């Protein structure tokens, strides 16, 4: 395992041109606020572990875990002694595979598996991470592909558990939920291709095949956020990537991400990332 902390941007170097890194961490040092392009999963094995993402702090007990999406500012506070698994995965192997889109919310949002989670999911998640730990330690020829399959299986289990909750919240049948999933899948694809343009409620409702009033209500129930919050999240994620290029001015980043003025861009960016675009830009430092 090779890992460097360069200021506030953490560079992750995967061994042997792979895409996975696992750290059996027993150090009692804290990690200051930083971010990286890798997906990260943390699970304490001995003693608790505190993880802060943005302005929210999660106090993980033994065998609880958190999935941190790429690009999220986070810090970690270790107790005087303990052990935890810190797993990192190149996000490209997940995001660049179209078949993963239905379960993308599991690794694009902060996901916590703790005492409040369904027992089946808690058991499966910690079992999966321990199996990944064993596979990584053996370093066999097929280790990374086996780990990838286990990771995808865990994401599917979490997604299906969420679907059960969603079906209950919507008070609908499996068939009706499948209809919503298909229509909102079309909406997601449309937004991903057009987030840089003005997308009004009438237009996006027509894409889904609903009236704007029905669309707004079902969208919030289905995604747990309003349409405006959802599209802002997509735009901020796009802006975050553009901010990594030092040659692109912040005003241009705002316009290319779908914001009509710098004031609204700054406001929404700070709301989601808990820092201004200028401050975020400083977090990124190129490394040799």
Predicted local confidence at residue 18, as pLDDT: 77
What percentage of the chain's residues is helix, strand, coil (to nearest 5)?
50, 20, 30
pLDDT at 42 (0 to 100): 96
Distances (CA, A) of 261 to 56, 268, 270, 273, 275: 28, 11, 15, 18, 18
Q: Which helix (H) or strand (E) holds 271?
A: helix 262-273
Q: State the pLDDT at residue 5.
A: 36
Distance between CA atoms of residues 239 and 236, nearest Å: 5
- In this structure, the strands spanning 31-34 and 20-25 are unpaired
Token digits of residue 156: 């599917």
pLDDT of 8 reads 52
Nearest residue to 60 (alpha-carbon basis) of 71, 74, 50: 50
- Residue 112: per-residue pLDDT: 94
DSSP-derived 3-state class of residue 116? coil
What's the pLDDT at 10? 58
Give the residues of the chain that fall short of pLDDT 70.
1-17, 283-288
Domains in the chain, CATH or no CATH each: 2-167 (2.60.120.280), 174-283 (1.10.10.60)
């Amino acid at each position: 395992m090779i890992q460097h902390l360069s200021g506030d941007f953490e560079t992750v170097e995967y061994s042997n041109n792979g895409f996975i890194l696992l750290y059996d961490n027993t150090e009692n040092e804290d990690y200051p606020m930083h971010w990286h392009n890798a997906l990260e999963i943390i699970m304490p094995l001995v003693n608790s572990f505190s993880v802060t993402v943005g302005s929210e702090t999660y106090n993980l007990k033994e065998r609880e875990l958190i999935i941190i999406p790429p690009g999220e500012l986070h810090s970690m506070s270790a107790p005087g002694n303990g052990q935890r698994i810190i797993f990192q995965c190149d996000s490209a192997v997940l995001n660049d595979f179209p078949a993963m889109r239905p379960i993308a919310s599991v690794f694009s949002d902060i996901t916590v598996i703790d005492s409040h989670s369904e027992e089946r999911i808690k058991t499966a998640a910690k079992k999966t991470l321990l199996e990944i730990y064993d596979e990584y330690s053996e370093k066999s020829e097929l280790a990374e592909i086996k780990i990838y399959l286990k990771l995808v299986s865990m994401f599917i289990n979490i997604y299906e558990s969420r679907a059960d909750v969603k079906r209950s919240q919507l008070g609908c049948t499996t068939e009706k939920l499948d209809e919503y999933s298909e229509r909102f899948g079309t909406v997601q694809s449309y937004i991903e291709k057009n987030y840089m343009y003005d997308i009004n409620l009438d237009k996006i409702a027509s894409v889904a095949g609903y009236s704007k009033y029905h669309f707004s209500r079902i969208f919030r129930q289905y995604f747990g956020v309003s349409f405006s919050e959802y599209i802002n999240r997509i735009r901020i994620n796009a802006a975050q990537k553009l901010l990594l290029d030092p040659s692109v001015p912040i005003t241009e980043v705002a316009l290319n991400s779908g914001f009509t003025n710098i004031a609204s861009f700054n406001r929404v960016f700070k709301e989601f990332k808990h820092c201004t675009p200028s401050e975020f830009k400083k977090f990124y430092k190129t490394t040799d």
